[in-house]
């Protein structure tokens, strides 16, 4: 079969379904401080033991009262009501029950006194006896408007969180705001899955490390650095195995070592069908390997298997293919492995194409594209001119993938799917 026969290519969705069906979430967990838990995945539901807020409190600086006292009182000539101030409730103070027919001076976040059901904001009130209303109101009076509603400006107990409720589920990857939410129920520590250890290995006799001389016939190792960034961005622990030459013994030795040190192994290069591609044979010797011909571009040759019972991804060697296959294929697997229950696949936008495609493709393409938003709010994607799988400039220039389905022709202005990198690497 030629390389372009569609029949033996595996559709993207099938590859993802297979990977997710075999991905077993890690079970080992650890307790970490909430402040250090960003990007970690909860290993148990976070359940609140309390109501938040713990008591009714004021949403405004103002005066707390019984609404009925307002409607029962006589009106001034201006159609307002004057009531005495019986207490002052600063933040952190436990109030006394509100005397009937009086108001309490109250501040944002202060607890509502028993008996009060409404707060009037201070801007609508006038403290009498020439004070500014700050600090000296006891025994004084305040003039209040009557065109207000019962319950105004009160944040009810448990409005945000009720005692006994699950605030975040097991498998949730913690975002900055989640740390605040956990703290709001009094948690100082949380139970999260331990970080996955992901071994990365670059293969190829032609590869040299940056910082060293690059003799004729060689190229610098870029894949190692792309993968390092990708794994760091996922909040996982990286086990860097460096470069292995195109040699079966060396490849086997380093794969054995990687399987000992890490939970998962990712290699780049060496999984094509060239005679110097030794990764495939070594993995078969140490475990098992499926060599997929994925219906995606770039990234057709992709190996998945086990090395000494540790999951193994053999990504292509070409740098842009590494970027795409990691983001679109390895990433969802790794997230599930790390214990994530949702957000495995990126959210996709539908935007206007600033380009056309006249020949139908046999593989789903992930073109490195830049999303622009016009002043009128129209989102459109433009392509980098060099979409070679060997070229990385486009990946840095772009801010996402324009996804072109198999067999679809695109005309300028047509709708296309766009996956922002922020969905993948945030």
Chain residues that interact with Mg ion, rule: CB under 5 A: 204, 269-270, 317
Q: Closer CB to Mg ion, residue 210 or residue 274?
A: 274
Q: Closer CB to ligand AMP, residue 278 or residue 363?
A: 278
**CB 203 → Mg ion: shortest distance, Å?**
6
- By CB under 6 A, residue 33 contacts ligand AMP: no
User: In this structure, which long-range contacts are made by residues 114-117, counting pairs with CB atoms below 8 Å and at least 24 apart in sequence?
Assistant: 115/66, 116/64, 116/65, 116/66, 117/65, 117/66, 117/67, 117/150, 117/151, 117/154
- By CB under 6 A, residue 171 contacts ligand AMP: no
Distance CA 385, CA 402 (A): 13
Binder to ligand AMP among 46, 52, 207, 383 (CB under 6 A)? 207
> Which span (234-242, 249-257, 262-270, 409-417) binds ligand AMP, by CB under 6 A?
262-270
Cα dihedral sign, 28-33-37-43: positive
Structural tokens at position 394: 């486009």
CA 358 to chain CA centroid, Å, is: 36
**CB 359 → ligand AMP: shortest distance, Å?**
24
Q: Closer CB to ligand AMP, residue 171 or residue 270?
A: 270
- By CB under 6 A, residue 113 contacts ligand AMP: no
- By CB under 6 A, residue 219 contacts ligand AMP: yes
**CB 386 → ligand AMP: shortest distance, Å?**
15
In order of 243, 319, 384, the CA distances from 268 in angstroms are 10, 9, 24
**CB 322 → ligand AMP: shortest distance, Å?**
8
Q: From start to end of 6-161, where are the E strands?
A: 29-33, 46-47, 57-58, 62-65, 81-89, 103-106, 118-121, 126-127, 141-144, 154-155
- By CB under 6 A, residue 298 contacts ligand AMP: no
**CB 27 → Mg ion: shortest distance, Å?**
36
**CB 209 → ligand AMP: shortest distance, Å?**
10
Q: Closer CB to ligand AMP, residue 171 or residue 319?
A: 319
Listed in sequence order, the residues at least 6 apart from 425 whose beta carbon sits closer than 8 Å to its beta carbon are 229, 230, 233, 327
In order of 43, 71, 169, the CA distances from 342 in angstroms are 14, 52, 10
Distance CA 169, CA 96 (A): 39
Listed in sequence order, the residues at least 6 apart from 241 whose beta carbon sits closer than 8 Å to its beta carbon are 199, 200, 201, 254, 257, 258
> Which span (32-40, 313-321, 327-335, 367-375) binds ligand AMP, by CB under 6 A?
313-321
Q: Phi first, then psi: give them for residue 177, nearest 5 degrees.
A: -65, -25
- By CB under 6 A, residue 317 contacts ligand AMP: yes
Q: Which residue is nearest to ligand AMP (CB)?
A: 317
Binding at 274: pick from ligand AMP, Mg ion, none (beta carbon under 5-8 Å per type): ligand AMP
Q: Closer CB to Mg ion, residue 230 or residue 244?
A: 244
Binding at 221: pick from Mg ion, ligand AMP, none (beta carbon under 5-8 Å per type): ligand AMP
- By CB under 6 A, residue 204 contacts ligand AMP: yes
Q: Closer CB to Mg ion, residue 133 or residue 204?
A: 204
Among 105, 68, 70, smallest CA distance to 86 is for 105
**CB 269 → Mg ion: shortest distance, Å?**
4
Among 386, 388, 390, smallest CA distance to 268 is for 390
Distance CA 367, CA 337 (A): 27
- By CB under 6 A, residue 299 contacts ligand AMP: no
Binding site for ligand AMP (CB under 6 A): 202, 204, 206-207, 219, 221-224, 268-270, 272, 274, 316-319, 390
């Amino acid at each position: 079969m030629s390389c372009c026969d569609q029949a033996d290519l595996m559709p993207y969705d099938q590859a993802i379904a297979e990977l997710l069906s075999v991905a077993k979430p890690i079970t080992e967990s650890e307790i970490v401080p909430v402040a250090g838990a960003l990007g970690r995945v909860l290993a148990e539901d976070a359940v609140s033991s309390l109501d938040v807020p713990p008591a009714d409190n004021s949403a405004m600086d103002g005066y707390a009262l019984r609404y009925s006292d307002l409607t029962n009182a006589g009106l001034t000539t201006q159609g307002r009501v004057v009531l005495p101030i019986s207490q002052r409730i600063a933040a952190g103070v436990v109030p006394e029950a509100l005397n009937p027919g009086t108001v309490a001076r109250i501040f944002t976040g202060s607890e509502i006194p028993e008996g009060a059901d409404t707060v009037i904001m201070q801007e609508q009130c006038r403290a009498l006896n020439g004070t500014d209303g700050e600090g000296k109101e006891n025994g004084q009076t305040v003039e209040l408007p009557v065109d207000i509603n019962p319950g105004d400006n009160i944040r009810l107990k448990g409005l945000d969180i009720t005692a006994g409720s699950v605030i975040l589920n097991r498998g949730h990857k913690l975002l900055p705001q989640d740390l605040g939410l956990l703290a709001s129920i009094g948690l100082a520590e949380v139970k999260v899955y331990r970080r996955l250890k992901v071994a990365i290995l670059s293969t190829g006799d032609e590869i040299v490390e940056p910082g060293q001389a690059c003799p004729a016939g060689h190229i610098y190792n870029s894949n190692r650095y792309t993968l390092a960034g990708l794994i760091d961005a996922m909040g996982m622990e990286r086990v860097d195995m460096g470069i292995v030459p195109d040699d079966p013994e060396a490849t086997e030795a380093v794969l054995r070592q990687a399987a000992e040190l890490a939970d998962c192994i990712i290699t780049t290069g060496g999984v094509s069908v060239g005679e110097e591609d030794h990764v495939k044979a070594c993995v078969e010797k140490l475990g098992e390997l499926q060599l997929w011909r994925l219906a995606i571009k770039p990234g057709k040759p992709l190996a998945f298997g086990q090395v000494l019972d540790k999951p193994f991804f053999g990504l292509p060697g070409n740098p842009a293919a590494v970027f795409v296959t990691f983001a679109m294929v390895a990433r969802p697997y790794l997230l599930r492995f790390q214990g994530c229950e949702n957000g495995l696949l990126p959210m996709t936008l539908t935007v206007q194409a600033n380009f056309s495609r006249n020949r139908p493709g046999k593989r789903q393409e992930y073109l490195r594209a830049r999303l622009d938003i016009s002043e009128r709010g129209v989102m459109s994607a433009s392509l980098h001119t060099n979409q070679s799988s060997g070229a990385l400039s486009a990946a840095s220039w772009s801010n996402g993938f324009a996804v072109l389905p198999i067999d679809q022709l695109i005309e300028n202005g047509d709708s296309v799917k766009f996956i922002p990198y922020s969905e993948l690497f945030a």
